[in-house]
Amino acid sequence: MTETYPLPEACRDMGDVRAGVDATDRELMALLDRRFGYMRAAARIKTSRDAVRDEGRKAAVIAAAREDAAARGLPADAIAAIWDRLVETSIAYELDEWDRLKA
């Protein structure tokens, strides 16, 4: 079943806004599920637990999020902070997965 909800510019009332926000949150959760699937894949592929944390990669991911946010007119610093938390949470999850699979 395909969910329908108005895009932001077509919202007529707060019911439309809330339906769109709720649907977007479900889409974000599906994307997070996929992202964390890549963390499980990384844990499976990496041969060393020390390879899980890569500060250079972390910085690049956060910088890309900041740049993308700025280009979209979003609050870049706040988005970078969210991405920092997302990446740290992903690293912790990958470490747990690595331990589960290989320890």
Tell me the C-alpha to C-alpha distance, in Å, between residue 21 and each of 27, 42, 80: 10, 31, 21
Residues 6 or more apart whose CB falls under 8 angstroms from that of 3 comprise 23, 26
d(CA 35, CA 19): 24
d(CA 43, CA 90): 11
Helix axes 55-71, 76-102, angle to 10 degrees: 150
Domains of the chain from N-terminus onward: 8-102 (1.20.59.10)
Q: What pLDDT, on the 0 to 100 scale, is given for residue 1?
A: 58
Q: What pLDDT, on the 0 to 100 scale, is given for residue 103?
A: 77
pTM of the model: 0.90
Tens-binned pLDDT, residue by residue, of the chain (103 aa): 567 899 999 999 999 999 999 999 999 999 999 999 999 999 999 999 999 999 999 999 999 999 999 999 999 999 999 999 999 999 999 999 999 999 7
The C-alpha angle 96, 99, 103, rounded to 5 degrees, equals: 165
Q: What pLDDT, on the 0 to 100 scale, is given for residue 96?
A: 98
The C-alpha angle 95, 32, 51, rounded to 5 degrees, equals: 25
